Each structure stands twice: as C-alpha cells, then as structure tokens.
Structure 1
Amino acid sequence: MFFLIQKPYGLSSFSAIAHLRKKFGIKKIGHTGTLDPLATGLLLVATDNSTKLISYIDKARKSYVFTVRLDGSTPSYDLDTPVEYLDVDIVEKARTTLTKEIIEHTIQTYFFGKIEQIPPSYSAIRLQGQRAYHMVRAGQEVQISKREIEIFSTRLVSFSFPEVTIEMEVSVGTYIRSIARDIGEKLGLAGHVTMLHRNKIEHLDEILARKIEDITLEDTLSYDCIFPGFEIISPEAEILEKLYNGLVFSNTIGLESGKKYLVKNGDKYISLIEERDGMVRICANNIE
C-alpha cells in the first residue's frame, strides 16, 4: 500500500511513519524521501510488499515552497540552531537597495539547471558510517563534498525584506537549506530557511494527501496513480506461472525495451517486469 501524508511541523519523517506503523499494525514500512523535522508537506509512504517499489519512485522530482530570511545565518541553515545576525548597517543598506528584480535575476541566473551545492553538515548524510548531524553535535569536524543537483524550475513567490519566498522543483538529493544559504551569499548577505514545505512529488500533489491524524486504510493510492508511466498487463496463466516462480524467459509477450510493466492477476498486482536482451526479467515480485 502507498499513502501520501501531510507531515506536520516538528515531526521527523521517522516518527511520522512510526505513527502509521502503530496505527495500522504494519510490519514493514518506508518512505520515498526524508523531510526535515522543521519542514512540512508531502511524505509518500509505502508499506509491506509495496516497499519493494520504493526505488522506482524515490528518485522523483520534488517541489518545495520555502522562505529565506536574509539578515543572518545558522549552522544548520534553518531555525534548528541559533541565528547569527548580520551587522545592522549591512542589513539597513540591503533594506533600501535590494529589490525584487535583483532577487529574480539572481535565482534565475544562479539557481536554475544543473548546479553544484554542498549539503549542510546538519544532515542525514553518512560519513564514515555515521550521520553527519551526529558527528557535528558530538563536536567532530565534518567535511561534505560538493554534489551536482538540478533545478528544473524556480519562481519568486514574494519578497518583503528580509524575507523572500521561492518555489522550486528540484532533483533528488537537493538540500533546500543549502540553496537558502547560497542565495544569501550571492546577494552579499546571509540566508537561512524559516519555512519549508514540500508541495509535490513528481506528479503527486497535495489534493491526494491526508493529514497524518486523519488517514485511514481507505486512503491508499493505487499503483496506476503512483506509476502512471508503467503499463499494466494481464498475461495468460502460463506467463503468470513463470513469474510466480521467478523465472527469466523469452519475450513472447511483446514487451518494449526501456519500459516497465505492472503485471496483474485478476485484481491483484503480482510483479514489476521489463524486457532486457530479448528476455522478460522481473524487477520485483510479490508486490502487493
């Protein structure tokens, strides 16, 4: 089963799925992309055999609306750590000279397409077998390498100094907190996130989501909703038997190269398959 939940402010992604595990008595559960505790918005959760399909959606594009405050910085690039404010003279000068047009030009020029960023040291990235944020809080020095990300769209929502609100669609692995810091630096100021909300995961938007306290077992999302690019097929019994047995066999059912297929037996999904080198190969079996 898949659920799309609205994660509230202050709750970690781990705590959110733990709540569902307890509520529904679920043995196996996972999600398709962590949200920081101070972030809100969409968290796509998979349970039981559906967790086998997480790897086919966890690389999805994600969209965020976020507010950057430009008068100070924090070690975590958000409000999880204390703010060190800029000198009052710098702030007052920016208040009179920084315009919506300057910000628009900056984000369209430097924060669009493929760029490099350094993730926050206060992050769940693993270094030497440890989470980076654990190392930082233990007083250890943390050095995280640059990584390439992609920003597919960027839009200035509003600006009222010292706060600017932006909407972005980004690739997997993008840290919005790092973008906030970098925007501040590009403007000759300092930036940190004061609001972060995930409003879309690929094609899944908030109209499909439910509040974590209100969600029921009737609120599951179907596989054809989660994976609209996968074709659904219902082959004959002989083919189903081969799939149940985990066999690789000649492509006699007309699968196209480069495509994925969800296989149904009656009303139940049983496999995710593909064609490779002229053979039908199983990507995941027993998926429902």
Structure 2
Amino acid sequence: MEGLVLFNKPSGLTSTQIVNYFKKITKKKVGHGGTLDPLANGLLILGIGEFTKELTKFLKESTKTYIAEIVLGAKSNTYDKEGKIEVVSSKKVELEEIEKTLNEFLGEIEQSPPPFSAVKIKGKPAYQYARLREKIDLKPRKVKIYEIRIINYNWPNLKLELTVSSGAYIRSLANDLGEKLGVGAYLNGLVRTKIDEFNLDEALTFEDLKNNYLEFLAKVYGRVQGVGFRFFCYNWAKNLKIFGYAKNLNDGSVEILAQGREENLQKFLEKIKQGPKLAKIEKLEVVWRKAKNKVFNFETL
C-alpha cells in the first residue's frame, strides 16, 4: 500500500498507534495529516511511502469538520471527559445565550491549545509538562472558525457541528465556551467527519483491511493520453483481477479507479507508475479508501 489513505480511527486509540500499525503492515514510512485525540474517532489521513510529503497541506492549510458533544456546567483539567471533572454550575443556560456566545467564536480568533496536548514546548509535548504539574506558557495561536451549527441542546448536553482551520482545538473551544458562559464546559465526544474534500464515509476501517477488499482512486499527469495508457491499465487490471475504470479527463490526465485485494492493487499501482512505453508520468496522486460501490468489470472510458 502506497499513497494517501483515508482511515476511520476508532475511539481509544492514538493517532500514533494507527501510524505504527500501518508501518507494520506496509513496511514503509508512514505519517498522518493531523492528529486526533484518543477520545475522538473519525477521519485520519495517512501518507504512506513517498506520499508522506503530501501531508503538509493537511497539517497547515486544510479545512476540517467535526461533530462535538459538549457537557455544560462542569470543567476538566484536560478540557475533555478523560480529565478531572469539577462541577461549576447547575444553572441552566438558555439556548439563545449559547447561540449568541458561539457567534463570538466565528472568524479568526486567538486560541490557546489545551495543556494536555501534543503541542511542542522546548522539544517536548505539552502533556508531559502537564502530567508533572509544571507550569508552561502555551501561547495563543490564530485559528479560523468558519461555521458552528447547533445540532441539539438539552441541558447540560450540547451537540455541535463545527468547520474550522488546521490547528484549531475543539477541546479548547469547549473550555472557552464554558468560561464565556460562566458555567464551565468540557468535551464529551468528538468525531471528525471531513478534511477538505475527503469524507468519513469514504474512510477504511480495520474490518475493511481484514476483509481485504479495498479501493484506490489515482490521477496520472504528464504524457498519458494518446499513448495507450487506458488500455495498458485494462490489460493489467484483467491480469490482476482488478475492477474499476481508466478514464481520460479534460485536463489531460488519466483517472483510474481500482478495486480488489490489497496485494493485487499494489502490484497494479506499480504498473501504473511505470506506464506504457510512450508515456511520461510527471505526477501521480493516489487515495486509498473504502470500496463503497462495488463494480465487477474494468472499463476504459
């Protein structure tokens, strides 16, 4: 397996554990495009092999969407349910006040990371200092909150959908909301549903890997049209029992959808990287994902 991988991280596992798992099964360099706390589940983008270089844009320039469950009336030293919970107030806050306060977070804001976070301070993650109760200076950072939508509110439980920039901490937003309302708040659950154009429902699960039926979508740029590239793909797909299509796009590239067993897909990808004799490949994009809509032949379009 090589390329970008959309993966559905379960709650209870760290992003590093997922990275290490893929290192073990692929025997290649692996990184991720933005950590998810152990409490959280949802979309984690991995880069495998040379595609780790593609992760920078997700770490610094992407837009991410979350579903957050927040509990009002109490606070946590970790800003989530994993920490020490302290009751602050039992006074119910009206929905109108919550809506008004949430609007104050929209746009570009200054946000301090949680003390229990992976933000590096003098080369060490902040959580190492926090565990030792050492005081550290977590300087606020500029982040963007594009949209906040209230899904449901039933005191003390508040459910939100948020679209934010890279670097924004939903735990910090929950804690800051509680402070502004004067009742305290902490994050009780978090699901990342989208990163840029990639959605959670496309993401692979451990069960998909176990069943060993996957899909990748590739785009090949360069001298790839008019050189027999699609028929080259067709012949190798037939040989390797790969289903999908190879299609010429208006921008001069070739798009390839491939479904099958992981080992066969990787062999197919190696052939795509070589291409037919007259082809000259300048750039290759590959995204591994769930095979949601199974096909049973390979077409040239």
Q: Same fold (TM over 0.5)?
A: yes
Deviation at 1:211?
1.3
2:188 corresponds in structure 1 to 194
State whether residues 3 and 219 of structure 1, in contact with CA within 8 Å, keep that contact through their aligned partners in structure 2.
Answer: no
In 1, the alpha carbon distance for the partners of 2:253 and 2:177 equals 42
**Structure 2 CA distance for partners of 1:118 and 1:235, relative to 1, 3 Å:** same
Deviation at 1:122?
0.5
Deviation at 1:179?
0.1
State the one-letter code of the partner of 2:80: D
State whether residues 218 and 285 of structure 2, in contact with CA within 8 Å, keep that contact through their aligned partners in structure 1.
Answer: no
Q: Does 1:164 align with 2:153?
A: no
**Structure 2 CA distance for partners of 1:160 and 1:130, relative to 1, 3 Å:** same
Q: Which residue among 78, 93, 96 is the counterpart of 1:101?
A: 96
Deviation at 1:287?
7.9
**Structure 2 CA distance for partners of 1:38 and 1:213, relative to 1, 3 Å:** same
In 1, the alpha carbon distance for the partners of 2:253 and 2:86 equals 52
State the one-letter code of the partner of 1:195: G
State the one-letter code of the partner of 1:17: V
Question: What aligned pairs does 1:12-31 form with structure 2 within 5 A after superposition?
Answer: 12-23=14-25, 25-31=26-32
Deviation at 1:102?
1.9
Q: Which residue among 61, 64, 67 is the counterpart of 2:66?
A: 64
State the one-letter code of the partner of 1:222: L
State whether residues 26 and 48 of structure 1, in contact with CA within 8 Å, keep that contact through their aligned partners in structure 2.
Answer: no
Over residues 145-176 of structure 1, what are the superposed CA-to-partner deviations in whole Å (9 max), with x where a residue is unaligned? 11110011110111010111111110000000
State whether residues 158 and 166 of structure 1, in contact with CA within 8 Å, keep that contact through their aligned partners in structure 2.
Answer: yes
Q: Secondary structure at the match of 1:214?
A: helix
1:145 corresponds in structure 2 to 139
| CA root-mean-square deviation | 2.6
1:10 corresponds in structure 2 to 12
State whether residues 34 and 58 of structure 2, in contact with CA within 8 Å, keep that contact through their aligned partners in structure 1.
Answer: no
State whether residues 43 and 203 of structure 2, in contact with CA within 8 Å, keep that contact through their aligned partners in structure 1.
Answer: yes
State whether residues 58 and 166 of structure 2, in contact with CA within 8 Å, keep that contact through their aligned partners in structure 1.
Answer: no
Q: Secondary structure at the match of 2:69?
A: strand
Over residues 225-270 of structure 1, what are the superposed CA-to-partner deviations in whole Å (9 max), with x where a residue is unaligned? xxxxxx944379xxxxxxxxxxxxxxxxxxxxxxxx9899993385
State whether residues 72 and 185 of structure 2, in contact with CA within 8 Å, keep that contact through their aligned partners in structure 1.
Answer: yes
In 1, the alpha carbon distance for the partners of 2:22 and 2:224 equals 35
Over residues 26-72 of structure 1, what are the superposed CA-to-partner deviations in whole Å (9 max), with x where a residue is unaligned? 32111101000010100011111111222233331110010111111
Q: Which runs of 5+ in 1 are unaligned?
A: 225-230, 237-260, 273-285
**Structure 2 CA distance for partners of 1:138 and 1:271, relative to 1, 3 Å:** farther
Q: Percent identity?
A: 32
**Structure 2 CA distance for partners of 1:18 and 1:101, relative to 1, 3 Å:** same
State whether residues 68 and 195 of structure 1, in contact with CA within 8 Å, keep that contact through their aligned partners in structure 2.
Answer: yes
State whether residues 27 and 48 of structure 1, in contact with CA within 8 Å, keep that contact through their aligned partners in structure 2.
Answer: yes
In 2, the alpha carbon distance for the partners of 1:200 and 1:221 equals 18
Deviation at 1:140?
1.6
Q: Which moved more, 1:190-199 or 1:207-216?
A: 207-216
State the one-letter code of the partner of 1:234: R
1:85 corresponds in structure 2 to 87
In 2, the alpha carbon distance for the partners of 1:169 and 1:4 equals 19
State whether residues 69 and 164 of structure 1, in contact with CA within 8 Å, keep that contact through their aligned partners in structure 2.
Answer: yes
**Structure 2 CA distance for partners of 1:53 and 1:223, relative to 1, 3 Å:** farther
> What TM-score comes out, normalization by structure 1 length?
0.74
> What TM-score comes out, normalization by structure 2 length?
0.71
2:291 corresponds in structure 1 to none
Q: Which runs of 5+ in 2 are unaligned?
A: 226-251, 256-269, 275-280, 287-301
In 1, the alpha carbon distance for the partners of 2:177 and 2:162 equals 13
In 2, the alpha carbon distance for the partners of 1:133 and 1:223 equals 39
State whether residues 52 and 287 of structure 1, in contact with CA within 8 Å, keep that contact through their aligned partners in structure 2.
Answer: no
Q: Does 1:267 align with 2:272?
A: yes
Deviation at 1:111?
1.6
**Structure 2 CA distance for partners of 1:215 and 1:138, relative to 1, 3 Å:** same
In 2, the alpha carbon distance for the partners of 1:29 and 1:209 equals 17
**Structure 2 CA distance for partners of 1:271 and 1:55, relative to 1, 3 Å:** farther
In 2, the alpha carbon distance for the partners of 1:6 and 1:196 equals 13
Q: Which residue among 223, 234, 247 is the counterpart of 2:223?
A: 234
